Structure formats: C-alpha cells, structure tokens
Structure 1
Amino acid sequence: MREITATGPSVEEAVQSALTQLNTTRDRADITIVEEGKKGLFGLFGTKPSIVTVKMKYDPVEESTNFLKKVLTEMNIVAELETKVEGRNIFISISGEKTALIIGKRGQTLNSLQYLTQIVANRYSNQYLSVEIDAEGYREKRRETLEQLAERLAQKAMKTKQEVHLEPMPSFERKVMHSIISRFPEVETYSVGKEPNRSLVITPKKLKVTR
C-alpha cells in the first residue's frame, strides 16, 4: 500500500490513522489535507470529519538494499551488506559466506544482481541512479583482468590487422575495456548487438567501416 485516504475527528487524528495503516512515520510520507473538517454546532450538529491523503515516500537506497537482502536470503546466502552513497551512485559491498556463488562465473551472477538492484533503485527515484555491487573485492580483481585482456587483444588486432570480437560484457566493463584500448593509437573500439548481449569489437583504424 503506497497511498491511503483516512478520516478522523481532526486533521491530526486522520493523519495518525493513515500513518498507522501505512506503518510509517510522518517524515516518510507526503500529507495532503482534503478536508479540514467541521466541529458543528455544540459539537453535535453539522459535524464533518477531517479527510487527508497520505502517500508513502520511498527511499531508493533502502528499497534497493532490502531487495538485495531478500534475493540473497532466497539463495540461502547469509551475508552482510555495507552501503555507501556518493551523489547519484550507490555502492553496495557484500561480505560473508558463499561469495563464489554470489559472484558466479566471470561475475555473471554479481552482474545480474547489480542489474536487478539498479532497476529497483530507479523505480523509487525521480532521478537516475547508478548501482555498483561488489563482493569481497571482486570488482578490482576483475578490472585488473580486463586491463590485461584489453592490452593483449589490442596487440593482437595490431599484429594481425584484423578485427577482434570480444564476448558480451555489461556496459561498465565495456567502458573499462574502451578506456584501456584508447591508449593504443593504432586501434579503436565499437560495440555491436543489444543488451544484455552487447559486445565490444577491437579494430585497426583503417579497417573500421561505418555502422
């Protein structure tokens, strides 16, 4: 329940009734007074109740974190979450048991958790939010792996004078690869396909065609 209309002898009592039904507090709600009410003559005749509409204000950080906790629980994983917010960026670090299961092959499970959690965060936000989920420092280790891969494949493209097609990667990993490969003046990159199967292609500059 996200919104409720409540009545009461006074505005305050109507508001309290709505807050109780929504199981929330005043600072987490938007309150609109529909009718201030009327006591009536001698408090008996012509009395009109106060009417208010109370709408929940959701915290996208809290909602996304709770979603992730619920998913991990469904996976029978006991873990601790540490959340940090910097502007429009939400960073969630997972620690505990079964981190290998959380990460998955080449980070596929972790990337899926991140994708879904970001959807939840933006569902409750009026501005775009970016979510990054890490587990036991995997992201930094993965970045080091991507740097080595990017350099090796850039060298391959320059040596063979042919395009090198990479496996599908999430957008943030493609950005890492693109950034590293941009250091090599003889090659460049472009992306092909549609999410979530969009992938990067490294090509010698003279071979690139318009797409």
Structure 2
Amino acid sequence: MSVENITERPAPTVADLEAEGDVAADFLEELLDIADIDGDLNLDVRQGRAYVSVEAEEGGGVELLSAPDTVQALQELTRLAVQSRTGSFSRLILDIGGSRDARRRQLERLVDAAVVKLDEGASQASLPAMSSYERKLVHDIVSDRGLTSESYGEGADRHTVIRRH
C-alpha cells in the first residue's frame, strides 16, 4: 500500500467511544452468560479510548479470566466484535478484576529494576517486548521517574529502552 492511499481518520468523539463501549459490553455480557460467570460491567471514556471493566465479588468466577494473557486475548476478541459491528477499528481497553492495575504494578517493578541497572552504571536498560498499551504505561512510568524511554523493534518484538537524560 502506498502512502498516498492511507487517509487519516478523525479522532472518535466521546459519543463514538461510548457507543463502542456499549457494543463491547453487549459482547462481554453474552460471553459471561455463556461461561456462567457473574460480573458487573462498567464503561468509561479516558484518553481517547473506551474502557470496559468487568468486576465481581470474590468467587464470582471473574478471577478465572483475569490472567494477563487471557485479558489480552479477550480484549482482542472484544475489539474484533466492536469492529465487526461498527465498521471502525477499536482501541478499547478491557480490564477484568483489576488486571490492569496489577499489570501496571508489575511494569513499575520492571522499571524500578531497570533504574537499578542505570544506577549501577549501565548506559541503558531494555525491557521485554510488550503490547503498545503496556509500552505507553512504561513510557509514563519512566517519565514520572525523570528518565527517558524509546520503543524499538517491530511487531511482537517491539520493546522499550530506558536511559538517563
């Protein structure tokens, strides 16, 4: 595909993102019903994305779906369901049972370990490959700690490198 064929799409409006969240919630409700898992769905719009969270009382079964790889797979399925219904690419974020907060804490620990390497004299520290959303979180964490970061690599091998200013 040539560059001339690529057109910029306008940023989705809050109403577009709310509609995207509704479609995602409908899909997830059906999925939870099929799996006989009790969960409450909460919808939000933040930073130009629809956020859908599934929460439940302990023992409701949601914890069965909260492993990071499972959340990532369900997020991709939900994005495809939204795209199929709306005809537009979706960047929605799915959180199941607080999995996103747990992953952010893991990423903070990874960044902290990288900072120790920098403190010990390394010129840079590379983190493992991760999703674009996780890399964005890492860039935010790194910035909060007064350091710089850049992403390198392609596709599934894309990773973040952290440096001092």
With the shorter chain as reference, the TM-score category is 0.5 to 0.7
Question: Does 1:69 find its partner at 2:32?
Answer: no
Query: What is the DSSP-based 3-state SS (H/G/I as helix, E as strand, rest coil) of the residue aligned with 1:83?
Result: strand
Write the distance in 2 (CA, Å) between the matches of 1:188 and 1:202. Answer: 5
Distance 1:64 1:187, change over 3 A: closer
| Aligned match of 1:34 | none
Distance 1:134 1:186, change over 3 A: closer
RMSD between superposed Cα atoms in Å = 3.0
* Identity between Structure 1 and Structure 2 (%): 20
**TM-score, L = length of structure 1:** 0.54
Counterpart residue type for residue 156 of structure 1: K
| Cα displacement string for residues 119-138 of structure 1 (whole angstroms, at most 9, x for unaligned residues) | 32233336654312222222
Task: Name which one, 1 or 2, has greater alpha-carbon Rg.
Answer: 1
**TM-score, L = length of structure 2:** 0.66
Structure 1 residues 51-62: aligned runs within 5 Å? 60-62=20-22
Larger RCO, structure (CA 8 Å, separation 6 or more) = 2
Write the distance in 2 (CA, Å) between the matches of 1:182 and 1:67. Answer: 36
Tell me by how many angstroms 1:172 deviates: 1.1
| Aligned match of 2:136 | 175
> What are structure 2's unaligned runs of at least 5 residues?
1-18
| Aligned match of 1:109 | 70
Tell me by how many angstroms 1:110 deviates: 0.7
| Aligned match of 1:141 | 102
Distance 1:139 1:99, change over 3 A: same
Is contact 2:110–2:127 with CA below 8 Å preserved after alignment? no
Query: What is the DSSP-based 3-state SS (H/G/I as helix, E as strand, rest coil) of the residue aligned with 1:168?
Result: coil
> What are structure 1's unaligned runs of at least 5 residues?
1-58, 207-211
- The one of 78, 81, 84 equivalent to 2:37 is 78
Q: Which has the higher helix share?
A: 2
